[in-house]
Structure formats: C-alpha cells, structure tokens
Amino acid sequence: MLSCGLMSNRPSSAGHRTGSLYGSFAFGSIILSCFAGFFFNQHYYGSEWAVLATFGLGALYATLGVLGGGTIECKGPTAHAAYYLTQCALLTAMVWISPVRGFFGILVLPVIAQAIFDLRPWNAVLLGVYLFGLTVSVWAIPYGWSGLVEALVNYSTAFAFTIVFTIITKRAVDSRNREEKLREEVEAANRQLREFAAQAGDLATTKERNRVAREIHDGVGHYLTVVKTQLDAATALLPAQPDKAREAVVKAARLTGEALDDVRRSVGALRTDAARPPLPQAIKDLAAHGDPVPSVAVEGAPRPLSPAVEHALFRAAQEGLTNIRKHARASSALVVIDFRAPSRVRLELSDNGVGTAAAGSRPAGFGLTGLRERIELLGGRVESGNRAAGGFALLIEVPA
C-alpha cells in the first residue's frame, strides 16, 4: 500500500488517478497510525510544546505527501529536490522532537517508497540511508550501543519490506506502462496501415481506371476510326460507284465485328489476349484495315513474348496506325517489328505525311499519354517526332 502512493507522480490518466487515490490513502494511513501512539502512550509525553510541534510538523508533512507529491512530476528536477529536502527536514525535526519513540519511526517509510519511484537509484539509496540512520540514531544517543543494535534489528525488517515491496510494485507499474505504450504504438501502426491500405486501394482503383481507359481508347477507338473512314468513303462513292460503296460498307461491318471481339477480349482478360494470333501476324492483320495500308517488316527471328509485352506492343501499333489515318494525310506508311536485340523488342511506325508542323495535326491527346504510361509500366520507352525526310515516326522499345 505504501508504494501505491508513488503512482501519483506518474502522468495523469484514469488508471494513474486511481493509483494516486490509493497512494494518498496509504500515505495518510501511515501518518495516522504513527500519531495514534500519542493517545496510547501518554507516559512518553515530555512537554506540551513538543507534542504541539510534532503535530504541526506532521500536518505539514502529510499535506505535502498527499497533495504535493502528486504535482511535482510536472515541475522538473528542482521541484523534486525541494520536495525531498523539505520532507527530510520535516522528518528529522519530528523524529527528534517527538516524545513518542518506537512505532513512530516508520513515519519515514512513505518518503522512501516515493524516492524509489521518483529518484535515480543512487539518490534513492542516499535518501534511504539517511532516513534509516535518522530513525535508529534517536535510540543510540539516549540508550547507547545496546539501543542502537536493538533499533537496527527492529527497523531493518520494516525498511527491507518497504523497499522490496516498492521495487516489486515499481517494476509492475513500469511493465504496465510499457505495455500501454506498446499498445498505443501498435494502435498507431494499425491506423497508419489502414490509411496506407486506403491509399493503396485508391491508387489501385486509379490505375485500373487508367488501364481501362487505355484499352477503350486503343482498341475501340482504333476500330471506330477505321469504320468511320470506310463509311465516309461509302457515302462519297454511293452516287457514282454503288458497288465500291457497298464494298466499303461491308468492310465497315466486318471491322465492327472485330471491334466487338476486341472489346470482349479486353473485358474478359485485359492482359492475356489468348485468342489473338502471334504479334507479327496480329499487327499485319491490323495494318490491313484502313487507308493507307502500311508495309509491315519483321527484322530478326520472332520469339514468344509475355502476354503483357505482346498486348502493349499491339496496342501501341493500334495507336500509331490510328494517328496516321486520322492526322497524317500520308500516302504511305511503314511498320517495323525488330526482334534482333536479345533482351528487347522495338516497334517503329513511320509515314510520309505532314508531321507535326501542320496546324491541327497530331494533337497531344490521351492516346500518346496512355501509350507512354502503358510502355513505362513495362520498363520501356517511347520516342516520337518528325522525320528528317518528312512525315512522322513513333518508336517503342520494351524489355522482352
């Protein structure tokens, strides 16, 4: 119970406030027990002034211990030093002035217990040695060596019990504080993990939206461009050349069916494209739709590619051919697939059109941005610009 009073010097919380109440009760109980001796051992009274002085000092000692001890933690080292010096001075005066001896000596034990909690070990040891010496010395002076030895034996047990019990209690309190701190750190870490998980979910959602947007733009956008070209041609040919107009409409219908197949592939498996033929053949089929029809060249021996790389190159070819047909006003174009490098694959599209100098040509839209994002995710690079011989060139290179 004595050591519980030391919890009042801990930072405030619900548990610590409860400990402060128990500690204050223990502190006050010890003081009341000691001063009760004045009422049961009246033959020890020496003079009225000594009794009054002892009670006055005891009241001040109790007030500091019960009320002041709970406030010095936040006041710093100077307040600690002033508190313990004041309490030692009060105890010294009471022990020497008090007409009552014997049980009255345990009055020093609450301060020793407090010191174990509040002070550094060596400072607590020095304070304990001083108070123990103070308690036994009041017997040595009037009774000599025999009184000193008897006091040593009688008080050693009380001091030892208080010190050991306080140390055990302090370790339990420290362990509880460490557990609370660890629990707070774990809760904080869990909160951070939840926040990171929410951010990761938002990022994953954004990436998925961007990927779907690229799929729609590169797949459906390409086919719609070619279909529109065929339908525009059919409209122009219909009055004079209905047969050719009919061919254009049939081709547009076929391309619409291929667009639907592409949509189904994208929705079902955005990265696998299991139904698509090998990359060179897929790009040749892609190049055959629309005007101009580019030449397709394969350099090096074709080799199997990962689904992600093959899909990205196919979409890059779609984007490049769409831009040629929409903006280049070219009469010829070339697509080159280069497998010669052992660890990389290059795809190059070029045309003899107007390049980027013409007003309104090659607008910087979502297509090229999405293409760069798609290729950079694979560790590749995208380069584009006007050719020295005229026209425009698009180069894609990815590890494979």
Residue 328 and residue 391 in contact, taking contact as beta carbons nearer than 8 Å: yes
Q: Total structural domains in the chain?
A: 2
Angle (CA) 189 190 196, round 5°:
90
Are residue 25 and residue 133 in the same domain, yes or no? Answer: yes
- With respect to residue 253, please indicate whether it lies within any of the assigned structural domains: no
- With respect to residue 392, please indicate whether it lies within any of the assigned structural domains: yes
Enclosing domain of residue 327: 277-400
Tell me, what CATH number does 388's domain have? 3.30.565.10
pLDDT digits (tens, 9 = 90+) for 143-171: 777 777 877 887 888 888 888 988 898 88
How far are the Cα atoms of 233, 238, 252, 255, 256 from residue 245, in angstroms, in the given order? 7, 5, 11, 15, 16
Are residue 184 and residue 284 in the same domain, yes or no? Answer: no
- Last residue in a domain, options 189, 217, 233: 189
| pLDDT greater than 80 at residue 225 | no
Are residue 18 and residue 140 in the same domain, yes or no? Answer: yes
- With respect to residue 261, please indicate whether it lies within any of the assigned structural domains: no
- With respect to residue 16, please indicate whether it lies within any of the assigned structural domains: yes
| pLDDT greater than 90 at residue 140 | no
| pLDDT greater than 50 at residue 253 | yes
Lowest mean pLDDT among 199-203, 281-285, 316-320: 199-203
| Prediction pTM value | 0.43
Lowest mean pLDDT among 33-47, 122-136, 329-343: 33-47
- With respect to residue 28, please indicate whether it lies within any of the assigned structural domains: yes
Phi and psi torsions of 397, nearest 5°: -135, 130
What sign for the dihedral angle of Cα 367, 373, 378, 382? positive
Instruction: Give the dihedral of Cα atoms 240, 243, 244, 246; nearest 10 deg.
Output: 110
Are residue 168 and residue 307 in the same domain, yes or no? Answer: no
Amino acid symbol at 110: P
Are residue 170 and residue 291 in the same domain, yes or no? Answer: no
- Last residue in a domain, options 133, 159, 189: 189
- Last residue in a domain, options 189, 221, 251: 189
- With respect to residue 54, please indicate whether it lies within any of the assigned structural domains: yes
Are residue 176 and residue 284 in the same domain, yes or no? Answer: no
Are residue 56 and residue 185 in the same domain, yes or no? Answer: yes
| pLDDT greater than 60 at residue 67 | yes
What sign for the dihedral angle of Cα 15, 112, 175, 165? negative
- With respect to residue 200, please indicate whether it lies within any of the assigned structural domains: no
- With respect to residue 345, please indicate whether it lies within any of the assigned structural domains: yes
